[in-house]
Structure 1
Amino acid sequence: MIQNNMFNTQGVQPLQMKSVATENKPSTPAESIQSFGTYLQNALGSVAAQETQAHEMSNQFLVGKANVDQVLIASEQALLSLQLTTQVRNKVVEAYQEVMRTQL
């Protein structure tokens, strides 16, 4: 019999509701901006790390230490993360321009 293991739910934990009072929220707008800035910095660092990994994989392929499929997977991951970053940047710029066009 063929079994589909793609949707295996044995290890899935049920969702639990969190109360608003127990969540750790930044208390000031400055802390919110700082945490968002840290998040963006970590995201950009992750994109840079994926690009570096793809470059290292291509160098290992040239030497003969990596398979072509590994190189292609690393390259595609780096490309997709860079495209996602570019699209997020474009949306942020569009939102900023829209806010600046708003008349009070």
Structure 2
Amino acid sequence: MIQNISNGVQAVQQLAMKPTSSEVSSTPANSMESFGSYLEDALNKVADQEQQAKDMSNKFVLGEVNIDEVMISSQQALLSLQLTTQVRNKVIEAYQEIMRTQI
């Protein structure tokens, strides 16, 4: 639990250290590429959390970890998946709204 909090703090610190958009000359192609890589990294992290939850449940069956560790890991994976689903739904809604807009 403490490790996950420290990982979150490190992620926020890394975001704070990134240059702002005024410091980096960005073109639409660069921004699409960076957004694509950001999205890919986020989906990979969700997949990693799901794999970690699966590994924890396997270790529980073998008696290597406690049930509380397994439950925490599985709940984290579930929350990440739910967040990803909600973000996807919002993106689809925004796209549909843009497509309905008359020019």
TM-score, structure 1 normalization = 0.77
- For 2:44, the equivalent position in structure 1 comes to 45
**1:81 corresponds to which letter in structure 2?**
S
When the two structures are aligned, how many residues end up with a matched partner?
A: 85
**1:95 corresponds to which letter in structure 2?**
A
- For 1:3, the equivalent position in structure 2 comes to none
Q: Distance in 1 between matches of 2:20 and 2:90?
A: 32
Q: Which runs of 5+ in 2 are unaligned?
A: 1-18
Q: Percent identity?
A: 62
**1:101 to 1:70, Cα distance in 2 relative to 1, 3 A:** same
Q: Distance in 1 between matches of 2:83 and 2:77?
A: 10
**1:22 to 1:79, Cα distance in 2 relative to 1, 3 A:** closer
Q: Does 1:78 align with 2:77?
A: yes
**The structure with more helix, counted as a fraction of residues:** 2
- For 1:66, the equivalent position in structure 2 comes to 65
Q: How does 1:81-96 map to 2 (within 5 A)?
A: 81-96=80-95
Displacement after TM superposition at 1:24 (Å): 3.3
Higher-Rg structure is 1
- For 2:12, the equivalent position in structure 1 comes to none
Instruction: Give every structure 1 segment of 4 or more consecutive aligned residues whose post-TM-superposition deviation is greater than 6 Å.
Output: none
Q: Which runs of 5+ in 1 are unaligned?
A: 1-19
**1:93 to 1:21, Cα distance in 2 relative to 1, 3 A:** closer
Displacement after TM superposition at 1:50 (Å): 0.1
**1:32 corresponds to which letter in structure 2?**
S
**2:96 corresponds to which letter in structure 1?**
Q
TM-score, structure 2 normalization = 0.78
**1:80 to 1:21, Cα distance in 2 relative to 1, 3 A:** closer
